[in-house]
Amino acid sequence: MALIYLSLGSNIERRLNIGAALDALAENFGELVISSVYESEAVGFEGDSFYNLVVGINSDVAVGDISKTLKQIEDTNGRDRSGPKFGPRNLDIDILTVDGVAGQIDGIALPRDEVLKNAFVLLPLAEVAPDALHPVTQKSYSDHWQEYDKNKQNLWPVSFVWRGIDVTKTT
């Protein structure tokens, strides 16, 4: 079984779409490791703020098949693929890492380059996998977060209840 981390984001009906995505991920992959949900300003376009989080799953399914399942979940939740690359999203789910793999698997670049570029990916990943090592840099996600320029992107935790549990971590 591979440990796979996913990034989830939505800026349209955020609570509804993130909740539906978590339901679908649990249905398809079983137990989930869920970070806090963070609200962040849109990056790359003017638009409503996003809810973002990282979810860990375990699966022995091929990465390409997991990607197809994720696209199906996005589509079921109203994902419009005809718009610009940077634009509003009902739901966006990306594969960030698969164990410690670096390189292309089934046409997917691992680890996803957004891991080190965007606070809304790196912070929730550092929260759920602080000691895990980035497959290329071999530095922990916690160390990467400590070194990240926190003035680049604003984000803040929001209370988010899924299946009766507030997933927000308290420190």
Which is the CATH superfamily of the domain at 2-155?
Answer: 7,8-Dihydro-6-hydroxymethylpterin-pyrophosphokinase HPPK (3.30.70.560)
pLDDT exceeds cutoff 90 at 68: yes
Q: Quick one: pLDDT band at residue 113, thresholds 50, 70, 90? A: very high
The predicted pLDDT at position 41 comes to: 82
* C-alpha–C-alpha distance, residues 65 and 72, integer Å: 11
pTM of the predicted model as reported, rounded to 2 decimal places:
0.93
Q: Is the dihedral of CA 95, 98, 101, 106 positive or negative?
A: negative
| Per-residue pLDDT reduced to its tens digit, 116-130 | 999 999 999 999 999
Q: Quick one: pLDDT band at residue 80, thresholds 50, 70, 90? A: low
| Per-residue pLDDT reduced to its tens digit, 23-39 | 999 999 999 999 999 99
